[in-house]
Structure 1
C-alpha cells in the first residue's frame, strides 16, 4: 500500500490540490457570511442543523485551513529545524496583507461609512483601537459605522481566526524547541491530549462561566492544526489510500446527525484535506497564484460596505455575485502587489534575521 510520503515524493512535495482547497475554503466562508442577508440565525445553517450543532459551514472551512496549514508548515521545522526561516515565512504570509487591510479599513472604509463628521471620526479613540487587529487583538467596530436599525455591524469578522493561527505557530515552535516534534511518542501524546480536551470542552456547558472560552476555542482549532502536523510527521507510516478517505467521509456523514461529529471531524477533515491536496482530483498542477488569503481577509469588508450603503440591496444571489467578484478582484490585487512581492523576500529577510540574531548573541556573550 502506498504511503503518504510516497505520494508526496511522487508529486515532488507540491500537492496540486492545496491551492484549490484553500480557495474553496475561503469561498465557503464567503458564502456563509453572505447568508447573513437571509438570516442571522446560525441554526438555519444546513450543516449546523444536520450536525446537531457540532459544526457549521464557516467553521468547517476554518478547520480545513488549520488542518492544511499544520500539515504544510511542519516540514520547515521538523526536518529543516530553521526557526528563523519559519518565523519569517509565517510573518510575510500573514502580516503585509493584514497591515494594508487594516489601514485601508481605518483610513478609507471607516470614513466612507461613518455617520460622524470626519474630524470627530479621526479624533475618536475607537478609530485607533481598530489597529489592535495588527497585533491580533480582534476589534470589529469603528465609530459612527451603523446599520439602518442603528446597530453597529461587525466590520471584518474573519480576523478573529488570525490570533489563533499565530498562537498555533507559536505553540508549534515551542513544541519543536522542547523536542516533541522529533519524539513520535510525545507527538501522539500531545495529539491525544488536545483531542480529549476538545471533546471535554465540547461536553462542558459552562465554558464561559469558568472563564475558559478562549482556551476552548483555541483547542477546537488547534486539534485540526496538530492533526495536520501529525500527518506530516508520520507521513512515512500513514497510508495514502482513497478507501481510507472514503471510509472517513462515510463515518463523518453517519456521525454528524447523531451529534458525534466532535469525535471524527478532526481526523476526517485533516486526512481528506491532505489526501485531496496530494491528488489530482481538483487539478494536476498547482496554481501560480494563491488568492485564498485575499478572499478570506477582504470579503467581509465588501459585505459591510453593502449592508451600510445599500441596505435595500438584499437579494442573496445578487449580493453573493457582487461580493464574490469583488473579493476575487481585491484578492488578485493583493496577491500581485502585496503578498507575492512579500513572499519573494523571504530568503533575503531570513538571512538578514539570522545575521542580526547572530550579532545580538555574540554581543550579549561578549558583555556577559
Structure 2
C-alpha cells in the first residue's frame, strides 16, 4: 500500500491557495504591462477575488489554531512565525540585492537614502512601496512590491481574533450573536454609496477582506454544516442570498456572501490529484510575496524583446522557484519553532504504553 498522506494533505487547501496566488500574479501582469486588470462585476479584479479567498481560508484555519491552543502568547507567536521570517528575507533581498541591481546609484548614496531605510518598515507591518531606485520604463516602475499591502490587514485580523477569543466571545453561546453581528455589518456597510463602485478607486476593500476572514472563522465554528456533504444546505442559502444581493446591484455584498463558504468547502474537500498539489511544500505564501517584484523584473528585462505571454511564463517560473526556496529554506524551518500545544507536549512526555 502507498504511504498515507499527512493530515494536512488530505484536503485541497494547498491547491486552493496556490491557485489563488497564481491568480493574483496573472491579474497583476495586466496592470503592470499597462493593459488593466480584468474585473469581476466592476468591484474587484480577479486578483482581488483571489485575495478574498485567501482571507476566507485564513479565517477558517487560524480559528482552528486558536481552538487548538487558546493561549494568547502562543497564538501570536505561531502567526508571527508563519508570516514574518519569509517576509523578512523577501524584504532584505528586495532592498539589498534587487534595488541596487536595477539602479545606478552608488551603494553609499543608496543605503543612506530615506526611502531605503523606510522600506524596512514593512517588517513592522507598515505598507511601503518605494525604494530609491525603480524599474525604469515599466508602467508602475516605482512600485517595488505592490502585493504586500494586504499583510498588515491580515495581522489585524489575527489580533482581532485573539482579542475576541481572549474575551470568551468565541464560546458556543456567543457564536450565534457573532454571526448575526457580522451579517449586519456586511449588509449595513457594504450596501454601497455611489463612490464605492469601481474596484480601482474603492477604499472599503480592507473591510471586505476582514469580513471574509470573519466568515471563514465562523465556518470553522459551524462544522459540519460548512464542510463535507452537510454543507450543501448552507452553501445553497449563501448563493441564493448572494444572488439576491447581485440582483439588487450589490455586487460587493454578493461576493462576501459567496466566497468564504465556497472557499472553505472546496478547501476542506479531498479531491484526487488536487489534494496532492502541496506534496512538495506550501508555496502559496512565497508565490504571493515574491510575485510582484519578480514580474517587475521580467517586464523590465524582456518587455521589448519577448511576447507578453512569454514574459508572463518567465515571471511564473521565477516566482515559483523563489517560492519553493522560501518554503524549503525559510518557512518550514521557522515553523519548527512554533510553541507546542499543551496536549501535544503532555503526550510527548507521557510514558509509552506497553
Q: Give me the TM-score of the superposition, normalised by structure 2.
A: 0.82
Aligned equivalents of 1:284, 1:206: Cα separation in 2: 37
Deviates more, 1:191-200 or 1:136-145: 191-200
* Aligned counterparts, 1:114-193, within 5 A: 114-148=103-137, 152-182=141-171, 183-193=174-184
The answer (yes or no) to whether the contact 2:9–2:275 under 8 Å persists in 1 is no
Deviates more, 1:132-141 or 1:303-312: 303-312
Shift of 1:82: 2.2
1:18 aligns with 2:13: yes
User: In structure 1, which of residues 60, 63, 77 is the aligned counterpart of residue 52 of structure 2?
Assistant: 63
1:54 aligns with 2:43: yes
Aligned equivalents of 1:333, 1:239: Cα separation in 2: 33
Give SS of 2:29's match: helix
Give SS of 2:170's match: coil
Match of 1:30 in 2: 25
Match of 1:269 in 2: 259
Shift of 1:83: 2.0
Q: Do the aligned partners of residues 250 and 192 (structure 1) sit closer, same or farther apart at CA in structure 2, a change above 3 Å counting?
A: closer
Give SS of 1:275's match: helix
Q: Do the aligned partners of residues 331 and 56 (structure 1) sit closer, same or farther apart at CA in structure 2, a change above 3 Å counting?
A: same
Task: Name the structure, 1 or 2, with higher relative contact order (CA <8 Å, separation 6+).
Answer: 1
Give SS of 1:74's match: helix
Q: Do the aligned partners of residues 206 and 327 (structure 1) sit closer, same or farther apart at CA in structure 2, a change above 3 Å counting?
A: closer
Q: Do the aligned partners of residues 198 and 115 (structure 1) sit closer, same or farther apart at CA in structure 2, a change above 3 Å counting?
A: farther
The answer (yes or no) to whether the contact 1:191–1:223 under 8 Å persists in 2 is yes
Shift of 1:272: 1.1
Shift of 1:324: 0.7
Give SS of 2:270's match: coil
Shift of 1:109: 0.4
Shift of 1:273: 1.0
Match of 2:347 in 1: none
Match of 2:314 in 1: 322
Q: Give me the TM-score of the superposition, normalised by structure 1.
A: 0.79
List gaps (5 residues or longer) in structure 2.
1-5, 343-354
Q: Do the aligned partners of residues 153 and 259 (structure 1) sit closer, same or farther apart at CA in structure 2, a change above 3 Å counting?
A: farther
Deviates more, 1:226-235 or 1:60-69: 226-235
Q: Do the aligned partners of residues 130 and 81 (structure 1) sit closer, same or farther apart at CA in structure 2, a change above 3 Å counting?
A: same
Match of 1:333 in 2: 325
Q: Do the aligned partners of residues 256 and 303 (structure 1) sit closer, same or farther apart at CA in structure 2, a change above 3 Å counting?
A: farther
RMSD: 3.0
Match of 1:85 in 2: 74
1:195 aligns with 2:183: no
User: In structure 2, which of residues 271, 274, 291 is the aligned counterpart of residue 283 of structure 1?
Assistant: 274
Aligned equivalents of 1:149, 1:83: Cα separation in 2: 44
Aligned length: 327
The answer (yes or no) to whether the contact 1:147–1:307 under 8 Å persists in 2 is no
